[in-house]
Amino acid sequence: MDVEKVFHMTGGVGETSYSRNSSLQKKASDKVKHITLESVEEVYVATKPKSIGIADLGCSSGPNTLSNIKDILDKIETASRNTIQKSAPEFRVFLNDLPTNDFNAIFQALPEFHEWLKQKRNDQENGGTSNIYVAAYPGSFYGRLFPDHCLHFIYSSYSLHWLSRVPPGLYDEQGNSLNKNSIYISEHSPPEVSEAYFDQFQEDFSLFLNSRSDELVSGGKMVLILLGREGSTHVDRGNAFFWKILYQALSNLISKGEVEKEKLDSYEVHFYAPCKEEIEEVARENECFEVERLEMFEIEKTIGKGMSYGTMVAMTVRSIQESMVAHHFGDAIVEDLFKEYGRLVDEEMAKEEIRPITFLLVLRKQ
């Protein structure tokens, strides 16, 4: 499966879209927003650029995308008033995601975004938006995207746990999966499976850092938010457990004749939840960056209006995974699969809490 061609968040603004089902990601980014804004302000004050390059990598679509950019621009404009320049710099904003991303939804929201800026600045004469330029940069961030030294600040939220591909080490020479009875790392997985996943994460994250080190100016920073795990083991009630539940939901559909066992045996996810030590190991191997912060946090469990926690999680996961599930199993199972998934999440939460872990990583270009 070519992940770059298939994987995307569900576009549009419908009930199952990522735009309507990304509140959990918003809660996480808001929880550490003060660190994000503190970091971007430090870059601006240290470099004092007349034209500042900002990139959101894995931007997806929906309200979170431009909301993050609004906060960043607002912080820089506030900081600029306290400098000798007194005026805000020119802003070059680059929104990146895979080519299949719904960039049109972002562009359709830009007039409202510019109107917000104009009203905020109260600058009717100049239109209020003449120094802000927003562009889409489709492509994988596992490789170069931008010219040398054109960026000052990079933001990426809930993207880097997605690998560039399903690890090839999961399959034997005949192409059969070594990971039967699982779609991710579980207690049923042989040691080769977790090794293959970590090798792929190491390769991808190293390539990401090397690429960004060429694109950032000296003193530029990155704020990266990604899912992870608390300890060395993958078998806990954290992010890996949600994949275990999805496998169970798919297995339950086999008994109903909706999924073929051979199809399930050949399905693996392109996801990896690193622990703190693994993130540090890869980050420190890249001598171009200094690790300024690496913090683990959790977001509080919330329940949507008129829906259970399991249903809310199922809607969130569906908005992210529907493209991959439909490509492998077909569209017909999607509705039943995520209903069953939500039911199983609620069932498990009634037994014991599931604790998804998130990491915040702040890196500075040397």
Cα→Cα distances 331→170, 190, 342, 346, Å: 25, 31, 18, 24
Q: What confidence score (pLDDT) does residue 235 get?
A: 86
CA dihedral sign, ordered 349, 323, 269, 165:
negative
Instruction: Compute φ and ψ for 209, nearest 5 degrees.
Output: -65, -40
| pLDDT at residue number 81 | 85
Q: For the segment 263-304, what is each residue's pLDDT rounded down to a tens digit?
A: 999 999 999 999 999 999 999 999 999 999 999 999 988 776
What are the phi and psi torsion angles at 21 (to 5°)? -135, 45
Mean pLDDT of all residues in 2-20 = 95
- Give the domain CATH number at 99: 3.40.50.150
Strand, coil or helix: what is 49? coil
Is residue 326 a contact partner of residue 334, using CB atoms and an 8 Å limit? yes
Rounded distance, CA 200 to CA 129, Å? 42
Q: Determine the structural domain holding residue 103 and report its residue range.
A: 3-365
Task: Identify the CA nearest to 167 among candidates 197, 140, 208, 203.
Answer: 197
Checking if the pLDDT of 124 tops 50, the result is no
Which string of DSSP letters, residue by residue, matches 154-185? Answer: EEEES-TTB-SS--GGGB-TTS-BS-TT-SSS
Mean pLDDT of 24-31: 94
pLDDT of residue 84: 66
Instruction: Report DSSP letters for 314-355, one per residue.
Output: HHHHHHHHHHHHHHHH-GGGHHHHHHHHHHHHHHHHHHS---
| CA 6 and chain centroid, separation | 16
Query: What's the one-letter identity of residue 70?
Result: K
CA distance 234 to 97: 28
In percent, the amount of the chain with pLDDT more than 90 equals 86
Q: What is the pLDDT of residue 155?
A: 98
Total number of domains in the chain: 1
pLDDT tens digits for 137-148?
999 999 999 999
| pLDDT higher than threshold 50 for residue 125 | no
* Mean confidence (pLDDT) of the chain: 93
The secondary structure of 69-111, three-state, reads HHHHHHHHHHHHCCCCCCCCCEEEEEEEECCCCCHHHHHHHHH
